[in-house]
Chains A and B, each alone.
Chain A
Amino acid sequence: MEEVKQDYLKNRELDEGEELLLQSAVEDGERLVFVLSTDLNKKSRYAVNYLAATDAALYAVDEEGKWDRIAYDSIEKCYVKRNYGNALYVIRKKDGESVNFSRFSYKSASLFDAAAQFTERMAGGEVGIHEASVAVEAALERQRSYCPKCGRALSHAGAECIYCQSKHKLVKKVAKYILPHKYVLLICLVLSGLTTATAMLPPYMTKTLVDDVLPNKKIEMLGTVVIVLLLAYVIQYGIGMVRSYLLRVCGDKIVRDLRSDVYRQAQYLPMRFYDKTSTGSVINRISGDTSTIQSFMLRVTQEVVVQVFTLIGIIVIMMSMNWQLTLLSLIPVPFVVMGSRIFGKKIRPYYRKIWRRWSAVTSILTDSLPGIRIIKSFTNEKSATENFDSYNDEWLKTDIRSARITIAFPQIVSFVITMGSLLIWAVGGRLVIENPDFITAGDLVAFISYTSMFYGPVNFFANFNDSYQSTLAAAERILDIIDAEPENNAGEGRVLDHMDGKIEFQNVSFSFDRSKKALSNVTFTIEPGDVVGIVGTTGSGKSTLINLLMRFYDGYDGKILMDGVDIREIDMEYYRSQIGYVQQEPMMFHDTIFSNISYGTPEASVEEVMHAADVANAHQFVARMPDAYDTVLGERGTGLSGGERQRLSIARAVLKNPSVLFFDEATASVDSETENLIQTAIERLISGRTTIMIAHRLSTLRRANKIIVVDKGEILEMGTPEELLAKKGKYWRLVEIQTMSDKVAASKAEERFE
């Protein structure tokens, strides 16, 4: 009888043997829904195992073909337990037994999260297979949205990876910055040719002086030779000056373009990049690495070409003068080339190490200097200095170790080259003395001059590897930013006619890294104009909800809809322009108060800015300042109190006139009086707009018509404040605790006044 091949979901193609293995495990009459291949067995050893789901049961199949089966109707709960190094698929049965059903590495974590959702739905028996397996389908689709070669996000599932297409990425990237300056570089190259050609003249003139002018006492000819030499030097150094200036300007432009590109790209990098990369290291790349690459570009486009021509020119001249001595002078070359290769291999890891150590030093600077108040308030200056010194010393040690190689190598090369010159003196000198017909004294002096000029390019190419290696290391780090995938669809995607502010979370799960889940299967709907308070303990996932809504992170499972449209499909620029976001610690820039308020709306008129400040209860305190709106704030807004900064940030949001507003603990760090001022400002602002407010102080949520209680990444309660109070659940407990602590605080305050 012919076997009917089943169609089911899977995370990779299975071969015939695997198909047979799974078919033999599954009981007759059951239909496979999905099969997930894992990379670990239950004992944590690397092996291909499988989690298979049918319409009636779950199967865990190991590499030896043994399987376990658990029927859905015996399952009470199913979840993924994340350990430090890997994760377990745990099933709790209705009889109380807990089973570690399958084990997997974090590569498959999101698939197994979806499988757990499927299992729970099937165990609940409320939905059909198709509905239950939606999450698994979505997780598999998301897996296809990553390049299998490099792991970078693709524009859509199954798309070709732009990064992996480029084979000569370094050359291409470098060429992009050089091409706009090709004519100037070409002129510089011609000028180089001229200076190189004139540099060939002096040794020939020396030969004439030694062989002809001096022995024959030709005074007039001496004058001519000196004038020719003078002209040669004037041309050589005059042209050299012009060429150097042109190259400097060209180099500055290249480094400016490169820095701008890296900085521009850094603006569009997703938050995930910054979660794992220190600002110090990004600054280091923008400042130091770009200069390294720039100087290398100039060396490649100029020096390499010039040195090649010089080398060829000199060899031709030397061969025409005396081919035997020319061959003699080539003896050191193989040693120099071999040494260069060995040197290159040895030095590259050092450049990486030096950069890592330097990056650590920069990170200390960028972390500690902005926090200088904290350092001083804890009188921690000494320990901060010691900490900095320890990193600085590490850099020094590494740099000294590399210096032993980088300094020794050029010296050894020069020594080998000098040996070559000595050889010419020894052999050539003997020939001049014993056989003056074969070679004259003038020929020998000129030959020695050409030999030293010949070793110049040899030395250049021997040391070229050094700068090539340091540039490779720098280029790697620059490309890490330039080639990193930017935030999705910045500047593209859908633009809605109007944003009403209906927000829907549909089975949203998210983790900052795969080893810890921040949100699990979150589902809720917010209607246009709703004022929603999100409450929960610290670390419960409140801010993560806002982070996802702001699209700081797009890599989540499930869907978030704005007015019925997936927010990942909406143009990022448009989307964020419609949202007002007020943070707990608002960021102010080192600029005037006026510019800080009009930060997101630079075209705003003076009166619009003043009106925004009025609405935000900020105008009064700004007007009292000596420089009022022209007051230049210190770094991060120093010079203003926390409450004043907060009111400026609200003014910013007012000016933006957004459709949707998010407040993340906007009044958490201010006193009660300032809280009232901010609160009235917020109430003016939110009128008629969909608003989500995260608040520790429940008093902040007096205008909320809906409350969502979040705990451990899950929605615990949701409803109107009255409904939740009547329910006497978590929200009610939080209100009770806060009322009590408010009473205690009030009575203590009274005691102090008394």
Chain B
Amino acid sequence: MTDKTDLVLDTVPTAPPIEEKPARERIYIDGDEAHFERVDLTNVDLMMFDGRRFPHLEPRRLFPRTGLERYITLLDDDGEEVAVIRNLANLPKAEREIIDDCLNEYYHVPHITKITGRLEKFGVIKFFVETDRGDCTIELRNIVHQIKLTYGMRVMFLDNDDNRYEIPDIRKLDRKSMSYLNDYL
């Protein structure tokens, strides 16, 4: 004799399964299955240990603000993604250094070490700063949109010409610098 409950369960319509096949095959690099060779400032050749080779790829961060080491995409000359490195920390040291160098070159943003002055005139705010690449002046017109604080300590500036600057950790700034900055955070 069949249990009534079973009958009900048997007749419940189920949704058709979603096709498993992904839209496009993505190569994930998790550890030591690939070797990189740097070909210029921001590009590498990728040799997979299964024999596949991909020339002239540019490593880019998929999360440039929130995940500096996670999910590094490798783009070919047409801007098409070829592979993704899940986590830089899992790569062998030599491979990691190659990718790091390319990323550092591409994502080079001056790191502000000190704010030496501030001037507000004609609706433009000028920050006079010392960076790890020399002294410069940052000009902003909209403090609300051009200064962003993330994680309570990292500050990104986007100046009137779309140049980026960064303070990796505002806790390391001196008091005077902080006093110039604090008004806008």
User: Taking beta carbons and an 8 Å cutoff, which residues of A are in contact with B?
Assistant: 39-40, 44-47, 81, 83-86, 88, 98, 100, 105-107, 109, 149-151, 161, 163-164, 276-277, 281, 348-349, 352-353, 356, 359, 477, 479-480, 483, 513-515, 712
Contacts and interface: CB of A to CB of B under 8 A. Distances in A.
Contacts of B133: 40, 44-46
A84 B142 contact: no
A225 B106 CA distance: 86
A356 B144 contact: yes
A133 B57 CA distance: 33
Contact of B164 (A85, A276, A349, A356): A85
B134 A150 contact: no
B142 A45 contact: no
Interface of B: 40-42, 64, 79, 105-110, 121-124, 131, 133-136, 139, 141-145, 160-164, 182-185
7 contacts: A83-B42, A84-B64, A85-B164, A277-B142, A349-B182, A352-B143, A480-B123
B59 to A, nearest CB: 12
B144 A149 contact: no
A150 B141 contact: yes
Nearest to A277: B145
Given A44-B108, A83-B105, A84-B164, A150 B122 contact: yes
Contact of A88 (B41, B135, B139): B41
Contacts of A483: 123
Contact of B124 (A86, A150, A276, A281): A150
B162 A85 contact: no
Nearest to A276: B145
A382 B163 CA distance: 38
B144 A85 contact: no
A712 B78 CA distance: 9
- Among B106, B109, B122, the one with the most A-chain Cβ atoms within 10 Å of its Cβ is B122
Nearest to A711: B78
Interface SS of chain A? mixed
Contacts of A109: 161
Contacts of A164: 122
Nearest to A483: B123
B135 A150 contact: no
Given A98-B40, A150-B141, A348-B183, A84 B108 contact: yes
A85 B41 CA distance: 14
- Among B105, B121, B135, the one with the most A-chain Cβ atoms within 10 Å of its Cβ is B105
B161 A106 contact: yes
Contact of A85 (B107, B134, B139): B107
A444 B81 CA distance: 88
A105 B182 contact: no
Contacts of A98: 40
Nearest to A513: B162
Closest A-B pairs by Cβ, 6 of them:
A46-B134, A85-B109, A107-B161, A514-B162, A349-B183, A150-B122
B108 A86 contact: yes
Given A45-B134, A353-B185, A480 B162 contact: no
A86 B107 CA distance: 8
A106 B163 contact: yes
Nearest to A348: B183
A514 B162 CA distance: 6
Contacts of B105: 83
A394 to B, nearest CB: 11
Contacts of B182: 349
A163 B123 CA distance: 8
B122 A46 contact: no
Contacts of B123: 150, 163, 479-480, 483
- Among B64, B135, B184, the one with the most A-chain Cβ atoms within 10 Å of its Cβ is B184
Contacts of A276: 142, 145
A477 B143 CA distance: 10
Contacts of A100: 40-41
A600 to B, nearest CB: 31
A515 B142 CA distance: 18
Given A107-B163, A349-B184, 18 more contacts: A46-B133, A46-B134, A83-B42, A83-B108, A84-B106, A84-B107, A84-B108, A85-B107, A86-B108, A100-B40, A100-B41, A150-B122, A161-B122, A352-B143, A479-B123, A483-B123, A514-B161, A712-B79
- Among A109, A348, A349, the one with the most B-chain Cβ atoms within 10 Å of its Cβ is A349
B179 to A, nearest CB: 10
B41 A149 contact: no
A150 B124 CA distance: 6
A480 B125 CA distance: 13
A251 B161 CA distance: 40
Contacts of B107: 83-85
Contacts of A348: 183
A284 to B, nearest CB: 10
Contact of A515 (B134, B160, B162): B162
Contacts of A163: 122-123
B141 A46 contact: no
A356 B182 CA distance: 13
A88 B107 CA distance: 13
Contact of A106 (B106, B110, B144, B162): B162
Given A83-B107, A88-B41, A163-B123, A151 B139 contact: yes
B166 to A, nearest CB: 9
Nearest to A356: B144
Contacts of A514: 161-162
A105 B134 contact: no
A255 B149 CA distance: 33
Given A84-B108, A105-B161, A163-B122, A359 B144 contact: yes
A85 B122 contact: no
B128 to A, nearest CB: 12
Contacts of B110: 46, 85
A105 B159 CA distance: 11
B162 A352 contact: no
- Among A85, A277, A712, the one with the most B-chain Cβ atoms within 10 Å of its Cβ is A85
Contacts of B64: 84
A486 to B, nearest CB: 15
Contacts of B131: 46
A281 B144 CA distance: 9
Contacts of B185: 349, 353
Nearest to B133: A45
A711 to B, nearest CB: 9
B121 to A, nearest CB: 8
A46 B108 CA distance: 13
A350 to B, nearest CB: 10
Contacts of B41: 88, 100
A337 B181 CA distance: 26
A281 B133 CA distance: 35
A479 B120 CA distance: 14
Contacts of A81: 42
Contact of B122 (A106, A149, A281, A515): A149
Nearest to A516: B162
B135 A46 contact: yes
Nearest to A515: B162
B143 A83 contact: no
B42 A352 contact: no
Nearest to A150: B122
- Among A88, A151, A356, A515, the one with the most B-chain Cβ atoms within 10 Å of its Cβ is A151
A520 to B, nearest CB: 14
A384 B19 CA distance: 30
Nearest to A105: B163
A349 B182 CA distance: 7
A92 B122 CA distance: 43
A605 to B, nearest CB: 45
A263 to B, nearest CB: 19
Contacts of A281: 144
B40 to A, nearest CB: 6
A40 B163 CA distance: 12
A151 B164 contact: no
Contacts of A45: 133-134
Nearest to B165: A85
Nearest to B181: A349
